[in-house]
Amino acid sequence: MYKIDSNGGIVIWEPIRIKFEKYPAQEKVVKLLFERGFQVNSEGKVVSGNIEIPHVQIGKEVRVDRRVVDATAKHILEDEMLFDIFKNVKSIPFLADVAPHLNLGVVVITPDDGADVGIISNVTRIISDAGLSIRQAVSDDPYFTDNPKLTIITNEKIPGNLVERILKAKGVKGVSVY
């Protein structure tokens, strides 16, 4: 039932995907809901907190009819595991695009392999040892994203000499700073 990665961990998206493999249009909807952190409430409505997201808007986004979104929400309600996931999933404010306007630093790490163990700890240790405070760290799920990245927001801009140290960290293929 679960797909296990090379490190012995359960691939997060796989148990959800399996439940929709016979319904490709619904799979597109459920993927969007998961990516955006939208919940499905007990009435079968797609919500973000207490704000209802019109099913027609979700359908337009993934190019399916509103009825496919309705069916997806019903499918989620009728499956205990899916409902447990989709009533609890949350979105977060991602600071990467606004950080420069707030005088915060942004460093984006491209890993050799996003499923490798220790990339986050290696990079955050380097940043912390340099005396910078990490305000936010967001890592793409390597099983959900083709080109996963680790984005770290710091209390100030990343100095050039730190970029060189991060590039030498185990598992790091590339570094972008802005």
In tens, the pLDDT along 15-45 reads 888 899 999 999 999 999 988 999 999 999 9
Q: For the purposes of burial, counting CB atoms within 10 Å of the CB of 42, is it exposed (0-12), middle (13-18) or buried (19 or more)? A: exposed
pLDDT score, position 51: 96
Q: For the purposes of burial, counting CB atoms within 10 Å of the CB of 77, is it exposed (0-12), middle (13-18) or buried (19 or more)? A: middle
pLDDT score, position 14: 77
In tens, the pLDDT along 53-82 reads 999 999 999 999 999 999 999 999 999 999
Q: What is the mean pLDDT of the chain?
A: 90
pLDDT score, position 93: 92
In tens, the pLDDT along 85-100 reads 999 999 899 999 999 9
pLDDT score, position 115: 79
Q: Which of 172, 150, 37 is nearest to 96 (CA)?
A: 150
